[in-house]
Amino acid sequence: MSSKKVAIITGASSGIGQATAKELASKDITVMLAARREERLKELKNEIEQMGGTAYYHVTDVTNVEEMEQLAKKTVEEAGRIDVLVNNAGLMPLSLINKRKIKEWDQMVDVNIKGVLYGISAVLPYMEDQKSGHIINISSVAGHKVMPGSSVYSGTKYAVRAITEGLRQEMNASYNIRTTIICPGAVATELTETITDEDILAAFKDRDMKPLDSENIAKAISYAVEQPDHVDVNEIIVRPTQQD
Ligand code: NDP
């Protein structure tokens, strides 16, 4: 078994997760790719291996606690340990509350909050045994401010920040576990495809700003990972220059 660091990345089949997997692999970190779309994970694993990196994948729905536990178990079986978990999977079906898109609220709570908690729960026993680890949770600028249409999404991303800060206070001293909150502004990814509200989608498309690329966020994540063990980068906010 090699001594390379090992990172699990959820939502690795597109956008920020995919770019993060490539970035970490390029820094000689072994990556375990997780998401639901197997074809995309397979392609990314091949791409990383062609770059000279080491990648595994495990088809995982983050809303299923057993699948998340299986993901952690498989990572340890394949790669020997878990140094980093990037809880990145998420969706953003924005809408006004009085549109009453209750199914979408449930999905956001399930993926953006419960998925993060299940990820933490799955890796903590291993990190506690190791007395080291790093949990990186992807919140958002929407985890710092609310706009009409973002109430529920923002609620999930505020929750991610609260959970991460609580986890830090509980696990830093005794278990040497680091936590990082990453808050991206607008990034050009497939995330807007989760918006079903036509007015909100149109307003999004009308925004006159150059968005970030996924690679910009991947580099912020990689910066936090690369710090020495006694340095915990607690939170990073990255906005497009033109974003409010
Ligand atoms: P994408 O839509 O490109 O990627 C979302 C990823 O989440 C996909 O890989 C998808 O994989 C995965 N996913 C969704 N549901 C599940 C599930 N139930 N189980 C496992 N994986 C799931 O979006 P981004 O890359 O933009 O988003 C990544 C994170 O960044 C999200 O948490 C998002 O909220 C956050 N963010 C994004 C911003 C942006 O402007 N893009 C701004 C601020 C924060 P699959 O469908 O294969 O399962």
Encode pLDDT of 210-220 as tens digits.
Answer: 999 999 999 99
pLDDT at position 207, please?
87
pLDDT at 6 over 80: yes
Q: Which two tokens stand for residue 89?
A: 């999977």
Angle at 226 between CA 213 and CA 7, to 5 degrees: 75
Q: pLDDT for 132-181, tens place per residue? A: 999 999 999 999 999 999 999 999 999 999 999 999 999 998 999 999 99
Across the range 214-227, mean pLDDT stands at 98
Pocket of ligand 1 (CB under 6 A): 10-11, 13-17, 35-37, 60-63, 88-92, 111, 138, 140, 184, 186-187, 189-191
* Nearest 10 degrees: Cα torsion 243, 26, 38, 221: -40
- Annotation marks residue 57 as catalytic: no
Work out the percent of the chain whose per-residue pLDDT is above 70: 99
DSSP characters over the chain: -----EEEEETTTSHHHHHHHHHHHHTT-EEEEEES-HHHHHHHHHHHHHTT--EEEEE--TT-HHHHHHHHHHHHHHHS---EEEE---------GGG--HHHHHHHIIIIIIHHHHHHHHHHHHHHHHT-EEEEEE--GGGT---TT-HHHHHHHHHHHHHHHHHHHHHHHHH-EEEEEEEE--B-SGGGGG---HHHHHHHHT--S-PBPHHHHHHHHHHHHHS-TT----EEEE--TT--
Across the range 68-91, mean pLDDT stands at 98
Residues 6+ apart with CB under 8 A from 95: 101, 104, 149, 152, 195, 196, 197, 200
Fold of 6-237: Rossmann fold (3.40.50)
Give the separation between CA 64 and CA 44, rounded to whole angstroms: 23
Reported as a pLDDT band with limits 50, 70 and 90, residue 55 is very high
Strand partners, 7: 31, 84
Spatial CA neighbour of 135 closest among 168, 170, 99 = 168
pLDDT at position 145, please?
98
Give the separation between CA 196 and CA 138, rounded to whole angstroms: 22
pLDDT at position 16, please?
98
pLDDT at 2 over 70: no
Across the range 21-34, mean pLDDT stands at 98
> One of 57, 126, 153, 158 is an active-site residue; which one?
153
Best of 13, 63, 86, 147 for a ligand 1 pocket test (most atoms within 8 Å of beta carbon): 13
Reported as a pLDDT band with limits 50, 70 and 90, residue 50 is very high
pLDDT at 96 over 60: yes
How is the chain split into domains, by residue range? Answer: 6-237
How many Cβ atoms from other residues are within 10 Å of residue 120's Cβ? 21
pLDDT at 1 over 60: no
